Amino acid sequence: MQPPSEPEKALDKLAGYLRNSRNILIITGAGISAESGLPTYRGIGGLYEDRLTAENLEIEEVLSGEMMRQNPRLTWTYIMEIEKACRGAKFNRAHRVIAEMEQRFERVWVLTQNIDGFHRDAGSRNVLDIHGDIHDLYCPDCEYRERVVDFSHLSLPPRCPACGAVIRPDVILFGEFLDQAKVARLRIEMHRGFDLVISIGTTSVFPYISGPVHEARIRGIPAIEINPGLTQVSAQVSLKLTATAGEALTAAWERLKKA
């Protein structure tokens, strides 16, 4: 019998960490949804990497809160382009495994940068979508809210059926502050504590995304990273798996269920 390979050993270790855990924080970025066919575009996910918009502007400028106020038609043009690129995609096995974890462990929370809503679609209940969900639309001038999964029928820019104001997706545009209620919830859950932190498919450039991994290291709590590349937290984790989310989570989950 051949000895297990290094990837197999890493998966065994991941399953072991899961087996010994009760409270888990899972942090996800664009990499987990790339396996569903979504583009990992710069900023909101490579759709605009290394190129400007047709207006010769940086995508961060077009998709900013200020531009939404000044020229909502322009901002909505690119919001609709993003939605069209993602249309028809669905959650994948990695999202589903994370949702299934809620049934096995005492407490599982997902902190995601993604705005696709896949974690909730897959069945996860404890989700902090820190950047919002592109399919949740609201009017800033009245109480109108609606979930829209296909933008193809919307006008440009779409207007509130109640008051006529321009509506917008409930996402954090560039230059805007995070939702303070979600930040507060993250602080509460961090204070309650986790005994395992797993970072999946994110470069961890934002401090509120890398912070839980750094805190885990300080407290002596295991932190795992699942990412094909090196990131801001790769040197901080207890275990690094150079794999896709679907490969690593599915294999570790099967090991755990057989134990």
Could you tell me the residue ranges of all domains in the chain?
6-37+91-131+178-258, 59-88+138-171
pLDDT at 3 over 60: no
Q: What is the mean pLDDT of the chain?
A: 91
Separation between Cα atoms, residue 220 and residue 228, nearest integer Å: 25
Angle at 144 between CA 141 and CA 145, to 5 degrees: 125
- Report the SS3 class of residue 250: helix
Q: What is the structure's pLDDT at 56?
A: 79
Q: What is the structure's pLDDT at 201?
A: 93
Q: What percent of the chain has pLDDT over 90?
A: 79
What's the predicted TM-score (pTM) here?
A: 0.92
List residues with catalytic annotation.
131
CA-nearest of 28, 46, 206, 183 to 116 is: 28
pLDDT at 42 over 50: no
Is domain 6-37+91-131+178-258 classified as CATH 2.60.120.10?
A: no
Please, where are the H alpha helices in the chain? 6-19, 30-34, 59-62, 65-70, 72-86, 93-104, 118-122, 180-192, 207-219, 245-258
pLDDT tens, position by position, 55-83: 778 888 999 999 999 999 999 999 998 89
For 64, which DSSP code?
B
CATH topology of domain 59-88+138-171: SIR2/SIRT2 'Small Domain' (3.30.1600)
Q: What is the structure's pLDDT at 2?
A: 46
With a CB cutoff of 8 Å and minimum separation 6, the contacts of 190 are 25, 212, 215
pLDDT tens, position by position, 112-127: 999 999 999 999 999 9
Separation between Cα atoms, residue 125 and residue 99, nearest integer Å: 8
Contacts of the segment 41-44: beta carbons below 8 A, 24+ positions apart: 41/82, 41/85, 43/174, 44/82, 44/115
